[in-house]
Amino acid sequence: MDINTLKQTASAMVAPGKGILAADESSKTIQKRFDKIGVSSNPETNLSYRQMLFTTPGIEECISGVILYDETIRQSIDGVSVPKYLESKGIIPGIKVDKGVKEIPNFPGEKMTEGLDGLRERLTEYKNLGARFAKWRVVYTIGNGMPSEACILANAHSLALYAGLCQEADLVPIVEPEVLMDGGHDLKRCQEVTVQVLKIVYEQLKLYKVELSGTLLKPNMVISGKESPTQASANEIAKVTIDTFKEVVPKEVPGIVFLSGGQTPDQATENLAAINRIGPASAGWQLSFSYGRALQEEALKTWAGKSENIAAAQQVFLERAKKVSAARSVKPT
Residues designated as active site? 176, 218
Contacts of 310 (CB under 8 A, 6+ apart): 52, 303
Q: How many CB atoms lie within 10 A of CB 44?
A: 10
> Which residues are CB-contacts of 6 (< 8 A; sequence separation ≥ 6)?
167, 170, 172, 211, 213, 214, 215
| Inter-residue contact 97 to 162 (CB < 8 Å) | yes
From residue 121, how far is each of 117, 124, 126, 234, 293 by CA, in Å? 9, 5, 9, 43, 30
Please name every residue paired with 103 in a beta bridge, in sequence order, or none if there are none: 111
CA-to-CA distance for 32 and 26, rounded, in angstroms? 10
Rg of the Cα trace of the chain? Answer: 19
The CA distance from 190 to 240, in Å, is: 10
Q: Which residues contact 99 (CB under 8 A, 6 or more apart)?
A: 113, 114, 115
Residues 6+ apart with CB under 8 A from 276: 287, 327, 328, 329, 330, 331, 332
